[in-house]
Structure 1
Amino acid sequence: MATVPSDDVPELARGIHDMGGLPGGAVDRHEHAVTLWEKRVDALLVLLTRKGVFSVDELRNAIERLGAEAYTSLSYYERWTASIAWNLMQRGVIQADELGKRMAEIEAEGRQ
């Protein structure tokens, strides 16, 4: 099976996440302090995958399905959060209205 070089794939045929073969920009090699909420998201993912609720591949798949606007505007861990929520809703672990209600409560309390 022949493959098409990345340069020859029309931009619309690529997912927003697919940057293979495209020119890259400068790489920021400085570490940033990991925030508490980022640590919590990471821990939540570890727990969910170890318990077999969903796999890392399913996390990646949901991230890759984000629309271009969401993908480019969300941070790395915000993408994880969106994917975790989507996967949990797909499995019936949580309902969208339940999630929205809890998010509103947390926002009203001024917590993150």
Structure 2
Amino acid sequence: MEKLFAYGTLKDKDIQENVFGRILQGVPETLLGYVVKEILIEEEFGMESYPIIAPTNNNEDTIEGIVYDLTLQELQLADTYEGSHYKRVEVQLQSNEFAWAYSAKV
């Protein structure tokens, strides 16, 4: 199983149902050394603002989220959902576990 740290729309049960075909069961977790910023993405009806994580290298900066266990196929579905503006990066969580998270493509 793959671990995914979700901090934004992937925590939404309706989105999970649409992307994965099921509601995910996760556990609360904290990401250290990152802050949430905003990214503007052009959508069908104009520009929309979405959250994005950005590293600060300061462990006092934290993001609360949820860690989900996904199959490799489900992780690939998450990649497709996040689209071309996001990239999957490996992060270390407060629990010292490693998980995937989505950050801005540079």
Larger helix percent: 1
Structure of higher RCO (CA pairs closer than 8 Å, 6+ residues apart): 2
TM-score tier by shorter-chain length is: under 0.3
Structure with greater Cα Rg? 1
- TM value normalised by structure 2: 0.27
